[in-house]
């Protein structure tokens, strides 16, 4: 199949690359020239395990990137994979979705005017509120079509579908090629068949449903996982006060097949590009529908407060932070990525700066990204953990990088060995956990 992917971010780039790997002819559209050039040279603009190998094997053969929408004319499927960032009120900003849809429509209109007739399916892969595909994407596509030719002049056959992604950053390639499930929301017919054919060769269970149900499945999945994390953190906070090891507790809880052991690790909270944004959007959607989502608001409240408990523990151990040297290990929101979006390190760094601490920090991949938020006048970024820890009064571990599990003698360089971890990964004895 010929596939156009609109958006070269995590979802679009990984989806496009993996679809090319499975044999489709893929064009990825992005608005940033530097990103397009990098993709076309086989260099991923983001770090994602296994992505560079796919780009090198497919670019120049059946994968390319472009700044324009020309490829839509010959495409069987146009995938919309643009961002839906939160507005100030927490609702999803859909302007990029609408713009992409209208641009796709214009190219379809131009193609049909030239006599390039074929069935095309517009598929939303971005996370969007229920009703977006039908109420925003469909009208925008048809508006784009109409801007190039009138409906009377054209014989246009367009299908619409919703195909949510369930990709974990750092494991996105693996998740795309070996998914738990593939959700295809459509009205049936040729659109359903087209999306099904797109996944030919990827063996897993398919769920066919309505478009709005597919949109809601993505929000609900992320909200439920975020709820498990905040619930575990709240139990962890209780266990901390009672002197109980929350990891022992959650190990026993997770052995219940109705619960499962996943997303029960207590710690500093969740971050990234999905959970905070999607739960906030679901809260906004509920409130706009006259529902008070008490549980979901609590999930966000627990998550906002959790990283600041690191600061509370720190002050109990060393007193006034002003003028103290604090080392922060881990800046990315999780390991195996350079993504800092909603990283739990951000509120911790902001609070340390507010309280007048001298901060050194180290992350294997996310230093450049964090410098865009906190420059080197506020945070001293180091090349390794040992340098960050040298002469520190205390250390906060914020990300579960595997290399941190091996740290030991590096802590000997600290002025005082006060070590507080927000992720349970350290093997040294003299450390304290946020929830344990």
Q: Which of 2-16, 82-96, 145-159, 237-251 bottoms out in mean pLDDT, i.e. has the lowest?
A: 145-159
Q: Is 81 part of the annotated catalytic residue set?
A: no
Judged on CB neighbours under 10 Å (0-12, 13-18, 19+), 241 is exposed
At 32-52, the pLDDT tens digits run 999 999 999 999 999 999 999
Decide: 204 and 180 in contact? Cβ < 8 Å: yes
pLDDT tens-digit map of 71-125: 999 999 999 999 999 999 999 999 999 999 999 999 999 999 998 889 999 999 9
The catalytically annotated residue of 274, 382, 395, 435 is 274
On the 0-12 / 13-18 / 19+ scale of CB atoms within 10 A, 416 is middle
Q: What is the pLDDT of residue 267?
A: 98
Taken in order 395, 400, 403, 408, the sign of the CA dihedral is: positive
- pLDDT for residue 312 is more than 90: yes
Q: Which DSSP symbol is given to 185? A: E
List the 25-29 sheet strands across, edge first: 63-66, 25-29, 2-6, 77-80, 120-124, 158-162, 181-186, 205-209
pLDDT above 60 (res 151): no
The separation between CA 40 and the C-alpha centre of its own chain, rounded to angstroms, equals: 24
The rounded distance, in Å, linking the Cα atoms of 144 and 106 is 4
> Average of pLDDT values for 7-34?
98
Q: Measured over all CA atoms, what is the biggest interatomic distance in the chain, rounded to whole angstroms?
A: 78
Query: Which pairs with CB-CB distance under 8 Å and at least 24 residues apart come from 200-207?
Result: 200/22, 201/22, 201/23, 202/22, 202/176, 202/177, 202/178, 204/178, 204/179, 204/180, 205/180, 205/181, 206/181, 206/182, 207/181, 207/182, 207/183
pLDDT value at position 147?
86
- Mean of the pLDDT values across residues 228-232? 98
What phi and psi, each to the nearest 5 degrees, are found at residue 307? Answer: -65, -25
pLDDT over 70 at 152, yes or no: no
Q: How confident is the model at residue 62 (pLDDT cuts 50, 70, 90)?
A: very high
The per-residue pLDDT of the chain, averaged, comes to 96
Partners of 380 in the β-ladder: 360
To the nearest whole percent, how much of the chain has pLDDT over 90?
Answer: 95
- Map tokens 């050194």 to a residue: 360
Measured distance CA(210)–CA(135) in Å, rounded: 14
* Predicted pLDDT of residue 149: 63
Query: Among residues 434, 13, 91, which one has the least CA distance to residue 286?
Result: 91
Residue 247 token pair: 């990891």
**Does the pLDDT of residue 294 top 70, yes or no?**
yes
Q: What is the pLDDT of residues 317-366, one digit of tens each?
A: 999 999 999 999 999 999 999 999 999 999 999 999 999 999 999 999 99
Q: Is the CB of residue 322 less than 8 Å from the CB of residue 356?
A: yes
Q: Residue 148 pLDDT > 90, yes or no?
A: no
Chain position carrying tokens 């993709």: 39
The CA-to-CA distance between both ends of the chain, in Å, stands at 52
348 and 369 in contact (C-beta within 8 Å)? no
Domains of the chain, start order: 2-209 (3.40.50.720), 219-234+243-305 (1.10.1040.10), 308-433 (3.40.50.720)
Task: Report the half-sphere exposure of 407 (CA within 13 A, side-chain side).
Answer: 28
In degrees to the nearest 10, what's the CA dihedral of 88, 226, 349, 92? -20
Higher pLDDT, 282 or 146: 282
**Mean pLDDT of the 385-395 span:** 98
Percent of the chain whose predicted confidence (pLDDT) is above 70: 98
């Amino acid at each position: 199949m010929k596939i156009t992917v609109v958006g070269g971010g995590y979802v679009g780039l990984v989806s496009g690359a993996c679809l090319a790997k499975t044999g489709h002819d893929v064009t990825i559209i992005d608005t940033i020239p530097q990103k397009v050039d990098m993709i076309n040279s086989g260099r991923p603009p983001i770090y994602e395990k296994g992505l560079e190998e796919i780009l090198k094997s497919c670019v120049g053969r059946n994968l390319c990137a472009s700044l324009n929408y020309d490829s839509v004319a010959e495409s069987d499927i146009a995938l919309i994979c643009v961002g839906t960032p939160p507005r100030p009120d927490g609702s999803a900003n859909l302007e990029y979705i609408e713009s992409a849809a209208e641009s796709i429509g214009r190219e379809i209109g131009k193609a049909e005017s030239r006599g390039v007739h074929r069935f095309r399916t517009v598929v939303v892969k971005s996370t969007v509120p229920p009703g977006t595909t039908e109420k925003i994407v469909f009208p925008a596509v048809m508006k784009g079509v109409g801007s190039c030719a009138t409906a009377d002049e054209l014989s246009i056959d367009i299908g619409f579908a919703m195909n949510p992604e369930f990709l974990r950053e750092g494991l996105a390639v693996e998740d795309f090629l070996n998914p738990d499930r593939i959700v295809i929301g459509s009205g049936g017919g040729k659109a359903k068949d087209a999306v099904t054919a797109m996944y030919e060769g990827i063996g897993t269970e398919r769920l066919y449903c309505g478009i709005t149900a597919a949109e809601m499945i993505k929000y609900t999945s992320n909200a439920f996982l975020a709820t498990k994390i905040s619930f575990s953190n709240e139990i962890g906070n209780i266990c901390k006060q009672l002197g109980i090891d929350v990891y022992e507790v959650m190990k026993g809880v997770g052995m219940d097949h109705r619960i499962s052991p996943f997303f029960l690790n207590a710690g500093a909270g969740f971050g990234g590009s999905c959970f905070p944004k999607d739960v906030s959007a679901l809260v906004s959607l509920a409130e706009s529908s006259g529902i008070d989502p008490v549980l979901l608001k609590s999930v966000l409240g627990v998550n906002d407060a959790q990283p600041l408990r690191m600061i509370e523990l720190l002050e109990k151990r060393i007193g006034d932070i002003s003028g103290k040297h604090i080392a922060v290990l881990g800046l990315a929101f999780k390991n195996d990525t350079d993504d800092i979006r909603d990283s739990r390190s951000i509120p911790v760094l902001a609070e340390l700066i507010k309280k007048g601490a001298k901060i050194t920090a180290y992350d294997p991949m996310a230093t450049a990204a964090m410098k865009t938020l906190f420059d080197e006048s506020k945070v001293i970024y180091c090349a390794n953990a040992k340098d960050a820890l040298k002469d520190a009064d205390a250390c906060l571990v914020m990300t579960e990088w595997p290399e941190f599990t091996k740290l030991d003698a590096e802590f000997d360089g600290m002025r005082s060995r006060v070590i507080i971890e927000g992720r349970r990964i350290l093997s040294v004895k003299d450390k304290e956990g946020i929830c344990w």
